[in-house]
Structure 1
Amino acid sequence: MSRDEASDLEARISSLVALSEVPSGTRMEIVLGRRPNRTVPRPLESLEFRARFDMRMEVARVDGGLAVTPVSIAVDETPLRIRGRVGQSLYQSARAAGAPPRAIQEYLRALGTQLSVAGDVRGDDSFDLIIEHRRAETGEVEIGQLLYAGLVQSNREVQLLKWSAGGPAQWFEASGVGRQTGEMMMPVNGRQTSPFGYRVHPILGYRRLHTGIDFGAPYGAPIRAAASGTIDFAGRNRGYGNFVRINHGSGMQTAYGHMSRIAVGHGARVAQGEVIGYVGSTGMSTGPHLHYELMRNGQRINPRSVTFIQQAQLSGEELRRFRSTLARLRDVRPGAAMARREERGERRERSAANVRRERTRG
């Protein structure tokens, strides 16, 4: 086709769909017409391609000109819900149930913000994933991001919904509590009871440097990794009692003391927010609390010198919409997207059978 006609066609198609949205490798069906001689390009008779997941573009020559027609493709956006029993391996059980690897990895990261996946998940627990899922009437499928991460245990139920509250999407608990970004997250949900600096030691009775921050919290409250890293100590450490230290690289370490129970082992990789232990009063302690330290190149520094991630609490209309979305997702039946696919397939088969019967009668 001529350059002028090609340029005009590109402009007309661009007015209907952004060409940058058309995936590379998209198949195009092109029909060229006859030309009067070899000195002129062949005229375009028709062009058809998938412009978007929900749109097909058709170009046809009509009365000497090119008509551009966008054709909508019906898309079923029912999310895909996958549930099952953890068994011997959470990852393998979720894969066997049909969950994509990327969704499972995201699920494990989300779950790690609430508990220790390695230490707290049991074989008789039940996993629950809800994933973006789009199926076109032409049969193609798009799998998107994880929308919901759930875990049912004998004594608790984890419900996490990915939500954007005016910023990047993050995981929120069913109560509407999430996290805002920062350098490090608060290791425990509690109040500061003793700051970094010199003080009179509550047990020894004399003045000395308090090398961390104390957070008062209930016995057994989860303690989370302030940042991602590798466990380089997990065990008993004199006055610190049950103690965990994490190496975050670049000379940074964090330490957590007086735990009632440690949930990780030496050498384990942990993600920011993953549960590493539980509040206790082991070692030289007057009651349940977390002693938290931050070290740079081996030197203990004030943990308040870095920006903590703060908890975000949804409220008002935002909380109402959040709860409505959570309820809608939790109403999705497991495998509903697959069931709809089979139902549409049966309808197509019945329609084809009816056509065959009509032809037979004729």
Structure 2
Amino acid sequence: ARPLEQMKLRARFDLAVTLTRAGKGFTMTEQPIAIDRTPLRLQGLAGSSLYRSARAAGAPAKVVETYMKALASRMSVGREVKRADSFDLIIERERAATGETRLGRLLYAGLDRGGRKVQLARLPGEDDGDWYDVNGQTQKRGAMGMPVAGRITSSFGKRMHPVLGFMRMHKGLDIGAPRGTPIHAIMDGVVQFAGRSGGYGNFVKLAHGGGIASGYGHMSRFVVRSGARVKQGQVIGYVGSTGMSTGPHLHWEVWKNGATVNPRSLKLSSVAVLSGAKLRAFRHAVQQLMAVKPGR
């Protein structure tokens, strides 16, 4: 048997250690690894799919999902984002002197809509807090946000059913999107049902406060279970074409006090403004983020 004389290993992202035999034991020498913590800024055009364009630019899937959730607090992503709009993401990044890189949280969510900008950031140190605009205000107003990034292919009301071939009440909205596009909960709630449901295919139903419930059909798969609590914007499943469907899309229904209603008819509103020390810290953090140059 040959005794171990020396061993080198990576103890942490920012630390390497060397163990060297010294008599009957070992001594340990630490070698700190320099880390560059300059954030990563990615920019580009939304194109035909904002989600896919941001992913193609180099943003991790979870970061893009967080980005879409942030935008959804201010606008209807599926209906209002145009091909010529440009995205702007700033992501936490660590680069080791030894060459490794790892990405972390989304720090800034921006969208330029032809001069009308959405610019959102969180309070320093708050990983799951609200998104504020650059003036320190958070608000959720107007029509209920869309649960998926896509385009409406069939509205609420009577229509000719694409499979059955006769006039029938369409109790929700159909939103066309590529297979696998993330589907988000429109509000905080509890999962009432998650499973196979006839023509709806893979279906999830959420119960929200105030007598409001929402349903999501034709999923390729769902990632929540009955009885689980979900937060607004949380991914609950992915677009598919299960059940009575002619192609990948989401069938989205909303109920108020047990009766189906047009999702576009529901209004949500909440506003909060930072002040004092929190506002000063927020503005300082935003100023530092805006100084980050785009590029890898």
TM bracket (short chain): 0.5 to 0.7
Task: Give the count of matched residue pairs.
Answer: 212
Q: How do 1:145-224 residues align onto structure 2 when only pairs under 5 Å count?
A: 145-163=105-123, 168-178=128-138, 188=141, 222-224=142-144
Counterpart code for 1:161: A
**Do the aligned partners of 2:124 and 2:281 also contact (CA within 8 Å) in 1?**
no
Q: Which residue of 1 aligns with 2:87?
A: 127
Q: Which residue of 1 aligns with 2:14?
A: 54
Question: Which structure exhibits the higher relative contact order, with contacts defined as CA atoms closer than 8 Å and separated by 6 or more residues?
Answer: 2
Give, in angstroms, the shift of residue 83 of structure 1: 0.5
Give, in angstroms, the shift of residue 321 of structure 1: 1.2
Counterpart code for 1:108: M
Q: Provide closer, same or farther for how the CA distance between residues 149 and 66 of structure 1 changes in structure 2, counting only shifts above 3 A.
A: same
Counterpart code for 1:116: S
Q: Provide closer, same or farther for how the CA distance between residues 312 and 46 of structure 1 changes in structure 2, counting only shifts above 3 A.
A: farther
Q: Which runs of 5+ in 2 are unaligned?
A: 159-171, 174-185, 190-204, 220-230, 234-253, 261-267
**Do the aligned partners of 2:110 and 2:118 also contact (CA within 8 Å) in 1?**
yes
Give, in angstroms, the shift of residue 224 of structure 1: 3.2
Give, in angstroms, the shift of residue 149 of structure 1: 0.4
In 2, the alpha carbon distance for the partners of 1:126 and 1:167 equals 25
Counterpart code for 1:163: L
The reply on whether 1:137 has 2:137 as its aligned counterpart is no
Equivalent residue for 1:107, pick from 36, 49, 67: 67
Equivalent residue for 1:118, pick from 61, 78, 82: 78
Give, in angstroms, the shift of residue 296 of structure 1: 4.2
In 2, the alpha carbon distance for the partners of 1:152 and 1:321 equals 25
**Do the aligned partners of 2:7 and 2:19 also contact (CA within 8 Å) in 1?**
yes
Q: Percent identity?
A: 40
In 2, the alpha carbon distance for the partners of 1:295 and 1:164 equals 37
Counterpart code for 1:105: E
Give, in angstroms, the shift of residue 46 of structure 1: 2.0
**Do the aligned partners of 1:228 and 1:272 also contact (CA within 8 Å) in 2?**
no
In 2, the alpha carbon distance for the partners of 1:54 and 1:126 equals 35
SS in 2 for 1:103: helix
Q: Provide closer, same or farther for how the CA distance between residues 77 and 152 of structure 1 changes in structure 2, counting only shifts above 3 A.
A: same
Q: Which structure has the greater CA radius of gyration?
A: 1
The reply on whether 1:75 has 2:35 as its aligned counterpart is yes
SS in 2 for 1:175: coil
**Do the aligned partners of 2:124 and 2:285 also contact (CA within 8 Å) in 1?**
no
Q: Provide closer, same or farther for how the CA distance between residues 84 and 323 of structure 1 changes in structure 2, counting only shifts above 3 A.
A: same
In 2, the alpha carbon distance for the partners of 1:105 and 1:113 equals 13
Give, in angstroms, the shift of residue 235 of structure 1: 6.2
Q: Provide closer, same or farther for how the CA distance between residues 67 and 267 of structure 1 changes in structure 2, counting only shifts above 3 A.
A: closer
In 2, the alpha carbon distance for the partners of 1:77 and 1:165 equals 15
Counterpart code for 1:50: R
The reply on whether 1:45 has 2:45 as its aligned counterpart is no
**Do the aligned partners of 2:95 and 2:102 also contact (CA within 8 Å) in 1?**
yes
Q: How do 1:192-341 residues align onto structure 2 when only pairs under 5 Å count?
A: 222-225=142-145, 234=156, 249=205, 254=212, 272=232, 295-297=256-258, 311-335=271-295, 338=296
Report Cα offsets for 1:246-266 as digits up to 9, x if no partner.
8973555549xxxxxxxxxx9
In 2, the alpha carbon distance for the partners of 1:166 and 1:272 equals 17
In 1, the alpha carbon distance for the partners of 2:110 and 2:127 equals 23
Counterpart code for 2:287: A
Q: Which residue of 1 aligns with 2:58?
A: 98
**Do the aligned partners of 1:174 and 1:323 also contact (CA within 8 Å) in 2?**
yes
Report Cα offsets for 1:101-155 as digits up to 9, x if no partner.
2222221111111111111111111110111111111111111111110001125
Report Cα offsets for 1:38-82 as digits up to 9, x if no partner.
xxxxx5422321111001121112354421122100111111100
SS in 1 for 2:114: coil
Counterpart code for 1:172: Y
In 2, the alpha carbon distance for the partners of 1:166 and 1:144 equals 14
Alpha carbon RMSD of aligned pairs, Å? 4.1
In 2, the alpha carbon distance for the partners of 1:153 and 1:143 equals 27
In 2, the alpha carbon distance for the partners of 1:250 and 1:150 equals 29
In 2, the alpha carbon distance for the partners of 1:160 and 1:315 equals 17
